[in-house]
């Protein structure tokens, strides 16, 4: 059975309808409209950049030493393209690792896990130490293993919604905000979660997505992570791109 998913939702936090924002600030080529939640500024103008050049921008923005890795937070809305971007960046640096906030937040209440990220992941990395951390909910719910990051890396990427929380800004060297079309990201995220079967049936997945998004919209409207981003990356199409290029705009917004 095919499930019809409507992405034309109202912002439940304030009842405002989404309005397409068109990125036409003098950029040649195809320009795609992008819907953004109220309060999130539109990035632009967009320009194409190679993956390796974006890594160079991030290293220049941060402060590193021989013992401590560059810590980059890749933040954005659900299904905006954060994981894909993190993987593309990590491939450019041999000694690198990715930490997914989904692993830290697993079976925790919505957006209450910032102290776990700060105390058990970021602080040890800041001291030049390795990380081996099993979040408390893992043992409680029967999940084995641990989040592991070895010492001596050049780059550690923290990716996920809330990766660049304001309270942890002193522990992060550089922040990337992944800006995406809200409707396209929602469609992509629900389809992904249904395919993975992570939140039950298709109907249960849609219901959970909407519950999550209500919490996410409130959290991000309070945190405003785009204001801490040194660069913004488009997670949905904005300009024509070659295979190894990314669309970026200057930050903060």
Q: What is the mean pLDDT of residues 2-13?
A: 29
- Count of all residues that appear for the chain in the document: 253
Residue 198 or residue 86, greater confidence: 86
- 227's CB contacts (< 8 A; 6+ apart) are 252, 253
Convert the pLDDT of each residue in 75-105 to its tens digit.
Answer: 999 999 999 999 999 999 999 999 999 999 9
For 129, the token pair is 């130490």
* pLDDT at site 32: 59
pTM for the model stands at 0.88
HSE (CB half, 13 Å, CA atoms) of 152?
A: 1
Convert the pLDDT of each residue in 10-22 to its tens digit.
Answer: 333 333 334 444 4
* 131-133 and 231-234 beta bridge pairing: unpaired
Pick the CATH number of 27-250 from 2.60.120.10, 3.40.50.300, 3.40.50.620, 3.60.21.10: 3.40.50.300
* 47-50 and 131-133 beta bridge pairing: unpaired
């Amino acid at each position: 059975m095919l499930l019809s998913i409507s992405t034309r939702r109202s912002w439940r936090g304030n009842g405002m309808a989404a309005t397409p924002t068109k990125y036409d600030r003098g950029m040649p080529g195809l320009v795609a409209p992008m819907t953004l939640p109220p309060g999130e500024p539109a990035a632009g103008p967009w320009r194409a950049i190679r993956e390796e050049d974006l890594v160079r921008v991030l290293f220049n923005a941060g402060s590193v030493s021989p013992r401590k890795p560059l810590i980059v937070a890749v933040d954005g809305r659900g299904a905006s393209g954060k994981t894909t971007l993190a993987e593309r960046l990590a491939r450019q640096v041999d000694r690198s690792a990715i930490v997914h906030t989904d692993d830290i937040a697993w079976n925790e209440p919505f957006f209450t896990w910032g102290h776990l990220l700060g105390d058990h992941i970021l602080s040890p990395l800041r001291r030049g130490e390795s990380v081996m951390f099993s979040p408390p909910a893992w043992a409680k719910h029967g999940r084995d293993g641990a989040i592991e990051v070895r010492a001596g890396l050049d780059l550690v990427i923290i990716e996920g919604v809330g990766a660049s929380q304001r309270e942890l800004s002193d522990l992060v060297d550089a922040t990337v905000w992944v800006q995406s079309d809200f409707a396209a990201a929602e469609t992509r995220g629900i389809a992904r979660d249904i395919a993975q079967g992570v939140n039950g049936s298709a109907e249960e997945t849609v219901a959970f997505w909407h519950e999550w998004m209500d919490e996410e919209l409130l959290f991000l409207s309070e945190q405003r992570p785009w204001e801490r981003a040194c660069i913004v990356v488009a997670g949905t199409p904005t300009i024509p791109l070659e295979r190894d290029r990314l669309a970026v705009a200057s930050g903060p917004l």
